[in-house]
Amino acid sequence: MIEVKNLTLTVRQTIILKDVNMICERGTICGLIGRNGSGKTMLMKCICGFVRPTEGEIVVDGKRIGRDRDFPESVGLLIENPAFIPYYSGMRNLRILAGFQGKIGAAMIRSAMERTGLDPDLKRHVGKYSLGMRQRLGLAQAIMEDPDLYVLDEPMNGLDREGIHQIRDLLLEEKKRGKTILLASHSMEDIDCLCDQVYRMEEGRLQEINS
């Protein structure tokens, strides 16, 4: 599903990613671990087409990103802190986002919110959400259009123990449905119980540590 070939990214003469190679097989969960600033998030941004690498190639579902397509065709994203309109409810925020492509209606949005532990009928504005609730809303946004690929940067951030278990179960359910998931996590517990492949990022270099 994802193949990264000899990818290098240099920003203002600083090497951010160096000769990165990675394969994430279809229908698997692929984990990225590494310290803050090691390059995990930037690699995800390159895979999603938000940042163009200096050298190398990224292929997602058979299409070269930046050549055949600017962005992956069917992807749900949660990268860095999810941003929403603070004076609208969660449901209204997701309805606005869903309206850009017009693929889904209210029923699928409601389902995504419920699966991530949110009440779609809650009138509270997102600006008054806790960190964990905003994270759940970001995850709901990522899954609501039923994409083939998920790219999730620290998806458990801000969640309590119950929430962590709920989202782990959700991701394993999505894997059973044939989805491909690339996730970054600082939690080895998350990595160990979820991932089929694991890569460690250190100073912009990637190494597979198990498969």
CATH number for position 179: 3.40.50.300
Query: What is the share, in percent, of the chain residues with pLDDT greater than 90?
Result: 83
At 23 the pLDDT is 95
* pLDDT tens string 31-82: 999 888 889 999 999 999 999 999 999 999 999 999 998 999 899 999 987 7
DSSP string, 161-211: HHHHHHHHHHHHHHHHTT-EEEEE-S-HHHHHHH-SEEEEEETTEEEEEE-
Q: Decide if pLDDT at 211 tops 70.
A: no
pTM of the model: 0.92
Q: Which two three-digit tokens encode residue 89?
A: 């409810």
106 and 131 inside one domain: yes
Would 79 be classed as within a structural domain?
no
65 and 102 inside one domain: no
Task: Please tell me what DSSP assigns to residue 2.
Answer: E
Q: Which two three-digit tokens encode residue 90?
A: 């969660």
* pLDDT tens string 149-206: 999 999 999 899 999 999 999 999 999 999 999 999 888 899 999 999 999 999 899 9
Classify 17 as helix, strand or coil.
Answer: strand
Would 18 be classed as within a structural domain?
yes
**Enclosing H/E stretch for 22:** strand 14-24
19: left (phi over 0), alpha (psi -120 to 50) or beta: left
At 29 the pLDDT is 97
In degrees and rounded to multiples of 5, residue 143 shows phi and psi of -100, -15
- Structural domain boundaries, residue 151: 1-74+147-211
For residues 45 and 65, the answer to whether their CB atoms sit within 8 Å is no
Would 80 be classed as within a structural domain?
no
At 181 the pLDDT is 97
At 120 the pLDDT is 96
Query: How many domains does the chain fold into?
Result: 2
Mean pLDDT of 87-114: 94
20 and 101 inside one domain: no
